[in-house]
Structure 1
Amino acid sequence: MPTGSAINIDEALHALPHYDKFCSVAELDAFAEELRGDPRFTVEVAGSSEKGAPIYHVRFGRGSLKAMLVGSIHCNEPIGGITVHGLMSLLRQGHPAVAEADVEWHIIPCIDPDGAKLNEGWTQQPFDIRAYMKGFHVQELGEQVDMTFPVQYKDISFDQPVPESRILMRLLDEVRPDFYYPLHNALAGGAFYVLKHDIGRERYQAFYDLLEESGLPLEQNIFHKVMCDEYGESVLSMPGIPNFYEFYAKSGAPPAEFIKFGETSSGYLASIKPQAQSLVVELPYLKHPITRSQKDTGESLRQLKIRQDADNKFIVTEILTAWDKVKDDLDADSALYRKVKQGTVASRDLLHEGMSASPEKTRDLLYNPSYGRTMTESERFTQHVMRLYMMSHVYEFVRLLKASQQTERVRQAIARLEPVFDELLDDIACGMDAERLEMVDHDTLARIMIGTGLVVLDAMLADRAE
């Protein structure tokens, strides 16, 4: 860790509690309620989710620097729960490394409780690739908390924040944090980092040290790299709507047809407080020995991408065919129904360009010269991980079928689609050699996430003291 630090990061990380699983929404709510009885904390219900679940805002301390952390910013990303739980535990302990830092802490333990609960079928048990795909949920981009902040850019205009985004927007307006940490994570592979402002290459070594201590690699195959500046190895500048727009425009795809979502919470904060620092850590909870391999497979990267794109289109076509038969039998009040209707079904006429959930579009796969080469073992693994993520998205239609009234048409659709997905999952598992996947222990995940945030905070405090 950095020498001469204002925050003793090592001491803080050694004092973290033990975790053997991810936190449930109920556990995070209960912890927030416990803190309500501690006079050092201010705990409020900042608002309610669409389904009426409380969204807590926990405040601790006074300081010249305001820090805000937000859990479940994407509801399918559970590392944030143990991160906020760990930080709140340190503050309750009164651990001097954080409790006595010149920081005013603001913590939103779970900004999307409705969505997080829909993932608890896989987050509350030991990781299993099948349970993950069949218990996965995340909203379409235009319905996600972190992708529905107001924005106007060229012919893009979005002003439809979901209820949870409105709550977070109000908190950002009120607190105006100097340091903002929306807690994301990746699925498998290596870690990478995104920052609004560069803090200097020498400070990124502390990021790498935390990974190295845990035997985790840096991610080399970062899709976002084509949209961002590089501050350091696997450390990128924060992208926003302009970056996505220009990426699509460059590939030849009409941006306005694909950007049906808004700005991120970090982008919104930048619009009201440009000097604020934002950090995203894409930390995987699965590791695999092939992740580091730069061995050339001799196989075409473009060919694999196009094959997977074709398979993706096949399964979406099967879903659309089934939808036309069963749509009147489905539970229209379900979040799964809205996800399928606003995503897969609404993008029917754009399927020739690729899946709605994928940033990679077909014409880019066909013509981008950077894909005209052979791929490394690491790149091949990453492609199969991306495919698992895409298939988990569209499997939500089968989840919807199972949660709806079991009419004959619904039962027939399940019987048709379930084996198709099982076959695809077997192919993905084979492609990524899933038997060698290993879950990163929860203590390590919490340590890296909290440690990385404290490194950035410490750098900001040091810069203010100069």
Structure 2
Amino acid sequence: MIPDDLTKYLTTIPDWTEIPTVDGLIDQLEKLRAANGDLCRWRRYGTSRLGDPLRVLSIGHGERNVLILGGPHANEPYGALTVSHLARLVIEHAELRDDLTWHFLPWANPDAARMNEGWFAGPRSIRDYHQHLHRPAPVDDVDFTFPHFSENGYYDRPLPETQAVMRILEDLRPVFQYSLHNCDFGGVFYVLDHDVPGLAEDLLAFTGQTAVPLAMDSAAVAGLDSPGKGVYLLPPAELIDGGIAEAGATSGHWAAQYGTTTLVTEIPMWNDPCAADDADSGRTVGEVFGQAATEMAEASDLLADLMAAVRPALRCGSPLAASAESLVRLAPLLGQGMRAAAEAMDERPAAVGEAFVGAITPHMIRMRGLGQLRRLLRAELATGNQAPVLRATVRKADALFDQACQAAGMVSEGNPFPLREVVAVQVGAGLVALRRILKEAR
């Protein structure tokens, strides 16, 4: 039984200074397995597109299953630390295994996660993150490529990694699936595949005891139903327009057929006192997001022009090209969403946190696009493709990236949250959710 007081599980979290690499986390888990052979075993469920085995570490022998889904988005690796700590907790505390078997998929997309390892050791600044970033295009992203069969957005192209997760869910039919994510600024927020009575209140109470604030509403959750502050409900797969979003359903949608409750916990990378400030900014939402929409359009046009210039000269087929192309198509939609928010809430006073989101988001999109473009062009040049347009554009992209980082620095210093603090939130929220789900299942 999971106790009401989680202190003993959270105070033992190490004061990490870096995120483990793909191989580093797997090595940690293998050492745990080797030292605890009576409790732990590996099982392979598939193979990544580049040939990495996709294995699950199972701990315990209970009848009900819990699945921890690590790395569902390759540029969100903080969950690797959550996997590491949770696995140790489950081994060390028998009460966490009471009638439960825990299953850990360390990395859902190891190939793409490896492409982000350049920033795992720090300094975890905004610049460092974006110059080593790889965010796969939605069609190459595991947690955006689960099938769904509505006419609105029919999607039937699951990746090999996605198919492996589908096999895991079919085999385990877990009572709880915990999907580990991290976001940019602000605070923590949660997404559930369905409302669990009492859970929103539990999560709010727990988060209030941590060092990380609860996030204000953000663009990532705009329009979603909410059973409580900071907690949102995953929209039905039938509402996903695959033609626009270039994506299918999520693991939460797919797991629901097995009676599984899925929780997503988004923990922030960078701290800024403005991000969660609900005081009046002195501006209206229309002003804040209207200006942001204009700046987003400028950022989108810049990225589109740069890609149009280099596209005919690209040769190496890097996944960075698909990522950059996807952002060129999707960034305008983000700007349109901000424009719609500005028009819908034109005269409502904007909180300081909303003004902060409006100010920082265009810079983040610009850095994301330019960061991936710089990596793409350098990869091309490294193969010997020295086309003049590539050489000229990489110099231009370098200068623009520097300008974007400086502009973002004028909005926020982007001090990283201590890893220990945000991982404590993710670990604790998972235990809080599982405790409530088990109570409701009785």
Number of residue-to-residue matches in the alignment:
435
CA distance in 2, matches of 1:114, 1:175: 24
Residue deviations 1:361-413 (CA, integer Å, cap 9, x gap): 476256x3224434221111122343344224312122211221243221100
- 1:285 aligned partner: 269
1:328 CA drift (Å): 4.2
Give the superposition deviation at 1:262: 0.1
Q: Distance in 2 between matches of 1:192 and 1:414?
A: 37
Paired position in structure 2 for 1:251: none
Distance 2:219 2:369 in 1: 21
CA distance in 2, matches of 1:441, 1:227: 31
TM-score of the two chains, using structure 2 as the length reference:
0.90
Matched, 1:34 2:10: no
| Alpha-carbon distance, 1:54 to partner | 2.9
* Cα distance between partner residues in 2 of 1:443 and 1:369: 39
- The AA in structure 2 aligned to 1:296 is D
Given that 2:125 and 2:416 are in contact with CA atoms closer than 8 Å, whether structure 1 keeps it comes out as: no
What is aligned with 2:155? 158
Residue matched to 1:334: 318
CA distance in structure 2 between the aligned counterparts of 1:97 and 1:10, rounded to whole angstroms: 14
Corresponding residue for residue 95 of structure 1: 93
Q: Distance in 2 between matches of 1:268 and 1:304?
A: 37
Unmatched 5+ stretches in structure 2? none
The structure-2 alpha-carbon separation of the partners of 1:314 and 1:105, relative to structure 1 and needing over 3 Å to count, comes to same
Check 1:33–1:110 CA distance in 2 against 1; reply closer, same or farther (3 A cut).
same
More displaced 10-residue stretch of structure 1: 313-322 or 407-416: 313-322
Which ranges in structure 1 are unaligned for 5 or more consecutive residues?
Answer: 246-254
1:139 and 2:136 equivalent?
yes
Shift of 1:424: 2.7
1:222 is matched with 218
**Among residues 220, 236, 242, which one is paired with 1:240 in the alignment?**
236
Query: TM-score, normalization: structure 1?
Result: 0.85
> Which amino acid in structure 1 is aligned with residue 117 of structure 2?
E
Judge conservation of contact 1:240–1:267 (CA < 8 Å) in 2.
Answer: yes
Mapping of residues 245-284 of structure 1, within 5 Å: 245=240, 255=241, 257-270=243-256, 272-273=257-258, 275-284=259-268
- 1:51 is matched with which residue? 50
- What is the CA distance between 1:128 and its match in structure 2? 1.0
Report the CA distance shift for 1:371/1:269 in structure 2 as closer, same or farther (over 3 A). Answer: farther
Assess, with a 3 A threshold, how the Cα gap between structure 1 residues 332 and 226 changes in structure 2: closer, same or farther: same
- What is aligned with 1:117? 114
Task: Give 1:200's aligned amino acid.
Answer: P
After alignment, is 222-231 or 144-153 more displaced? Answer: 222-231
Relative to structure 1, the CA distance from residue 457 to residue 295 in structure 2 (aligned partners, 3 Å threshold; closer, same or farther) is closer
Deviation at 1:174, TM superposition (A): 1.2
The secondary structure found in structure 2 opposite 1:459 is helix
CA contact (8 A) 1:7 1:101 kept: no
Instruction: Work out the CA distance in 1 between the residues paired with 2:326 and 2:224.
Output: 29
* 2:355 corresponds to: 380
Aligned-pair CA distance for 1:421? 2.9
Instruction: Give the superposition deviation at 1:80.
Output: 0.7
Cα offsets for 1:248-305 (capped at 9, x unmatched): xxxxxxx5641321000100111x22x3211011221322222332232223433443
Counterpart CA distance in 1 for 2:394 and 2:346 is: 36
Q: CA deviation at 1:195?
A: 1.6
> How far off its partner does 1:359 sit?
7.8
- The letter for the 1-side match of 2:19 is F
Amino acid at match of 2:210: S
C-alpha separation in 2, matches of 1:153 and 1:320: 31
